Chains A and B, each alone.
Chain A
């Protein structure tokens, strides 16, 4: 029986049930974020003072916050910002990380400079660098994306550079070079295709980190403006009511854990599938 490569890919990917579950959870979260206006039971900003800080119940499945807003609805809308920012960070850091990683790995003369800059950026803890950048750039959703991209690009550079260093010595690249294939084509076709899988794995991890980091920044008041519901801002504004209404803090946090965990599990599944050596070790 002939099997399409895509089908084979999914079959191998989901051999572990946990990976399948995580993937489905992720799909559900993303769908809810996309379809928020149709899925959410209430407007996320609808204030109802009489129903403030109500515990989870029939009317509000996950309770209400200090303004009587429905927490479930806010989590669903919050997914848009939280995951949107995370996804944007992934796109930006993948693009620049791959570019610089390829250049550093292929052209030895650039390697020293690029890697020292990477070292310098990685000498600072993620959240410290992020908060510094946001402080300098000004707090907005765009600048949070920019700051977190600067934080996570070095990780991609390291991964891509390491793979490039290995791949550039492989016979097929040498053969291409000997046949007179241009450097640009070697980089963009031969090497890029082969670093794609480690980059893809890294992407899922960075997605998870970015969701966590965005929440942390928003919590510190150095992220997106508090009017925009993200999971981080929900916890930040809810924390002073945690004594009387724990659900205000509990559920947005669970949303973060669920999203980040699913991403991580899918990334792990991807890596185990793509890296035969690791797969054996499991």
Chain B
């Protein structure tokens, strides 16, 4: 098992290296001289040349790349052009809303998706299954920003139950934060539950036809116990995978929803950086998001060993 995790870790490092390479060289494709961009329209050619030297932009691109890799490896993601502070700091400031949004969204998605998927599998082909499968299909094809706008109109503007946008005053109590996160988390929860429903259903259907389910029934267990203990226990691995990946993808993938609800999260940071061509911020955010994705993947692998004894030994 340790060998497997070690090998896994190795391939994760390669993936991170490839992400960094891709991000670096693609950014260099972008039109415009980064130094000129940093100094704005008023800069003289001399100023630009000096800045290029300061940032090492006059060195060959491969040397620049290696220097940049070294910086990343030590945790330095560079300096934002517009925000006047290190990228890592800018990201850290925006981490909280994104973290809680991802956490609440994936909780909603799992709490809705897993029971619905189980019910759908147990009553396969019946009305429940048709309704659940139909709704899941619908949810997967709703643009989250549009659903967000509709929800804002309904629940914030018309009914006034929730704040329209934002994350509240700095230092606001946590309850107020939750109120601000309720609508966006519900939107993302609904949209992301679709995949969880599908995986849960498929995985449960698979397991329910296994021989040990018949054994469990032959012991006289109630159907609830057969389904929840014997079947669900075996269906967990793919379900954990999809829930974990959903959480991972929400960390950087909630861009649109964060924008709609005016949440000052990482997605919001990326959008404004894109519109202002603040490349260090974009690069840094991409590295961080990919890093979190990769770490959650590793975490999923570790969780497997607790869920499935066959992996443990």
Contact between A and B in the complex (any CB pair below 8 Å):
yes
Q: Is B242 an interface residue (CB 8 A)?
A: no
Q: Which residues of B are found within 8 Å of A282, using beta-carbon distances? A: 124-125
Q: Which of B252-288 contact A (CB under 8 A)?
A: 252-253, 255-256, 259-260, 267, 270-271, 274-275, 277, 282, 285-286
> Which residue in chain A gives the minimum CB-CB distance to B141?
A260
Q: Is B289 an interface residue (CB 8 A)?
A: yes
Q: Which residues of A are found within 8 Å of B289, using beta-carbon distances? A: 124-125, 128
Q: Which residues of A are found within 8 Å of B140, using beta-carbon distances? A: 264
Q: Is B142 an interface residue (CB 8 A)?
A: yes
The stretch among B15-23, B212-220, B301-309 that forms the contact with chain A is B15-23
Q: Which of A216-271 contact B (CB under 8 A)?
A: 216, 219-222, 232, 235, 239, 242-243, 246, 249-250, 252-253, 256-257, 260-261, 264-265, 268
- From known contacts A125-B249, A128-B286, infer whether A235 and B18 are also in contact, taking CB-CB under 8 Å: no
> Which residue in chain A gives the minimum CB-CB distance to B250?
A125
Inter-chain contact A124/B14, CB cutoff 8 Å:
no
Inter-chain contact A261/B149, CB cutoff 8 Å:
no
Inter-chain contact A136/B15, CB cutoff 8 Å:
no
- From known contacts A123-B15, A137-B29, A242-B153, infer whether A131 and B271 are also in contact, taking CB-CB under 8 Å: yes
Output the least CB separation between B130 and chain A (Å): 9
Q: Which residues of A are found within 8 Å of B205, using beta-carbon distances? A: 281
- From known contacts A126-B253, A257-B143, infer whether A222 and B137 are also in contact, taking CB-CB under 8 Å: no
The stretch among A68-76, A83-91, A100-108, A114-122 that forms the contact with chain B is A114-122
> Which residue in chain B gives the minimum CB-CB distance to A259?
B141
- From known contacts A136-B30, A253-B143, A268-B137, infer whether A127 and B19 are also in contact, taking CB-CB under 8 Å: no
Q: Which residues of B are found within 8 Å of A265, using beta-carbon distances? A: 137
Of B23, B27, B274, the residue contacting A131 (CB under 8 A) is: B274
Output the least CB separation between A136 and chain B (Å): 4
Q: Which residues of A are found within 8 Å of B26, using beta-carbon distances? A: 132-133, 136
Q: Which of B121-162 contact A (CB under 8 A)?
A: 124-125, 137-138, 140-147, 149-150, 152-153, 157
Inter-chain contact A212/B143, CB cutoff 8 Å:
yes
Q: Is B69 an interface residue (CB 8 A)?
A: no
The number of chain A residues with a CB under 8 A from chain B is 47
Q: Which residues of A are found within 8 Å of B173, using beta-carbon distances? A: none
Q: Which of B86-127 contact A (CB under 8 A)?
A: 124-125
Output the least CB separation between B141 and chain A (Å): 4
Q: Is A29 an interface residue (CB 8 A)?
A: no
Q: Is B37 an interface residue (CB 8 A)?
A: no
Q: Which residues of B are found within 8 Å of A222, using beta-carbon distances? A: 271, 274-275
> Which residue in chain B gives the minimum CB-CB distance to A125?
B253
Interface size class of B (residues with CB under 8 A): 35 or more
Of A116, A131, A133, the residue contacting B255 (CB under 8 A) is: A131
Q: Which residues of B are found within 8 Å of A135, using beta-carbon distances? A: 30, 274, 277, 282
Cα distance, A134 to B31, chains bound together (Å) = 12
Q: Which residues of B are found within 8 Å of A232, using beta-carbon distances? A: 143
Q: Which residues of A are found within 8 Å of B232, using beta-carbon distances? A: none
Inter-chain contact B125/A138, CB cutoff 8 Å:
no
Q: Which residues of B are found within 8 Å of A208, using beta-carbon distances? A: 141
> Which residue in chain A gives the minimum CB-CB distance to B205?
A281
Q: Is B202 an interface residue (CB 8 A)?
A: yes
Q: Which residues of B are found within 8 Å of A119, using beta-carbon distances? A: 11, 15, 18
Inter-chain contact B29/A246, CB cutoff 8 Å:
no
Q: Is A215 an interface residue (CB 8 A)?
A: yes
Q: Is B190 an interface residue (CB 8 A)?
A: no
Cα distance, A127 to B290, chains bound together (Å) = 13
Q: Which residues of B are found within 8 Å of A256, using beta-carbon distances? A: 143, 146
Inter-chain contact A128/B15, CB cutoff 8 Å:
no
Of A124, A126, A249, A252, the residue contacting B286 (CB under 8 A) is: A124
Inter-chain contact A128/B30, CB cutoff 8 Å:
no
- From known contacts A136-B27, A243-B157, A281-B205, infer whether A124 and B256 are also in contact, taking CB-CB under 8 Å: no
Cα distance, A264 to B140, chains bound together (Å) = 9
Q: Which residues of B are found within 8 Å of A117, using beta-carbon distances? A: 18
Q: Mark B1-13, 1 if CB is under 8 A from A, else 0.
A: 0000000000100
Inter-chain contact B19/A123, CB cutoff 8 Å:
yes
Of A124, A133, A221, A235, the residue contacting B149 (CB under 8 A) is: A235
Q: Is B196 an interface residue (CB 8 A)?
A: no
Output the least CB separation between A29 and chain B (Å): 14
B interface list, Cβ under 8 A from A? 11, 14-16, 18-19, 22-23, 26-27, 29-31, 124-125, 137-138, 140-147, 149-150, 152-153, 157, 202, 205, 249-253, 255-256, 259-260, 267, 270-271, 274-275, 277, 282, 285-286, 289-290, 293-294
Enumerate 28 A-B pairs (CB-CB under 8 Å) in ascending A order. Answer: A116-B14, A119-B11, A119-B15, A119-B18, A120-B290, A125-B252, A125-B255, A128-B270, A129-B286, A131-B271, A134-B274, A135-B277, A136-B26, A208-B141, A215-B143, A215-B146, A219-B256, A220-B271, A222-B274, A235-B146, A239-B260, A242-B149, A243-B157, A252-B146, A257-B142, A260-B141, A261-B141, A268-B137
Closest 6 pairs between A and B when the two form their complex, measured CB to CB: A125-B253, A253-B146, A120-B18, A260-B141, A135-B274, A123-B290
Besides A249-B149, A281-B202, 13 other A-B contacts (C-beta < 8 A):
A119-B11, A120-B16, A124-B286, A127-B255, A136-B27, A136-B29, A215-B146, A221-B271, A222-B271, A222-B274, A256-B146, A257-B146, A261-B141
